[in-house]
Structure 1
Amino acid sequence: MKGFTRSDQLLSLCGLNCGLCTMRLGGYCPGCGGGEGNQGCAIARCGLDHGGIAYCWQCGEFPCQRCQNDEYDSFITRRNRLRDLEKARRMGMEAYWAEQRERRGILEFLLERYDDGRKKTLYALAANLLELEDLRRILERLSEESSGLSAKDQAALAAGLCREAAAGREIDLRLRKPPGKSGK
């Protein structure tokens, strides 16, 4: 969208954790306001209309209906957008970015070492939705339990640990799709 640019490529205007997006990691997306050819976004237009705010929480109308429409996911989860915006506001951007960089490092590690070609979405959802201590614990257990396993079994172990941590917090590690569309 013309006139819409951002320097923060870890957290979008609306609260998506772009740094944890598989499309962004794969080089298929320049990020929110990060380059030529970005498609129009109603929230980006709204941000421009409200003085070019960097994050929706800076708007006097936050949280508005536009921010709360999180029933379905696209290629990245939208489940925690409001929570993550509030968290970033509360802890400050430097601390939030530090946490996001750690999450991104964990996601990249899982993709590099434990992806059998079928776990990208699962690991991205885990990195987005699980608590940081859960992710750290998963890495510890992988370090302890994965040596000597085949690559396929290592990927199954990593996926199982992610699902186990998610079940303990009642989190579903599948993208939410509208009825009639398949989810992973």
Structure 2
Amino acid sequence: MERVQKIGIEQYNLEQQEKIKILCYLLDNYNDGRKKNFFCVAVNLLELSELKEAMKQIQQNDRLSVLSVKEQCSYIVDMFQKIADRRNIKLKLIKK
């Protein structure tokens, strides 16, 4: 709600649409069957600028395509975790 009040509903909706595209891309290309929750949490908690930074790194990494799906997922999880660590964010779903 704070974000909506700060930037306005229209800009917030545009950001959410961008985040949806990023989440869909991650799930379509890098989900090893165990990363859906992680990607959902990461996309929700990280800023759009941070997500774009990560996506740029992913797309520029030519070696990523030769790795196995499991190795690709591990690389991407580590990258998102490093970004989250800069802001002291834990990318883990807390279940009660």
Q: What TM-score results when the alignment is normalised by the length of structure 2?
A: 0.90
The structure carrying a bigger helix percent of its residues is 2
Give 1:119's aligned amino acid: K
Find the counterpart in structure 2 of residue 112 from structure 1: 28
Cα offset, 1:177, TM superposition: 3.0
Alignment match of 2:41 (pick from 125, 129, 144): 125
Which string of whole-angstrom CA distances, capped at 9 and with x for unpartnered residues, describes residues 56-81 of structure 1? xxxxxxxxxxxxxxxxxxxxxxxxxx
Greater Cα radius of gyration, structure 1 or 2: 1
- Structure scoring higher RCO (CA < 8 A, sep ≥ 6) equals 2
Find the counterpart in structure 2 of residue 148 from structure 1: 66
Q: What TM-score results when the alignment is normalised by the length of structure 1?
A: 0.49
Unaligned runs of 5+ in 2: none
For the residues of structure 2 that align with 1:130 and 1:92, how far apart are their CA atoms? Answer: 19
Which string of whole-angstrom CA distances, capped at 9 and with x for unpartnered residues, describes residues 129-158 of structure 1? 011111111111111222322222111111
- Counterpart contact for 1:138–1:162, Cα < 8 Å: yes
**Alignment coverage as a number of residue pairs:** 94
Cα offset, 1:176, TM superposition: 2.2
Unaligned runs of 5+ in 1: 1-84, 179-184
Give 1:112's aligned amino acid: D
SS at structure 1 position matched to 2:65: coil
5 Å matches for 1:162-177? 162-177=80-95
Find the counterpart in structure 1 of residue 17 from structure 2: 101
For the residues of structure 1 that align with 2:6 and 2:57, how far apart are their CA atoms? Answer: 31
Identity of aligned pairs, percent? 37
5 Å matches for 1:5-44? none
Find the counterpart in structure 2 of residue 161 from structure 1: 79
CA RMSD of aligned residues (A): 1.1
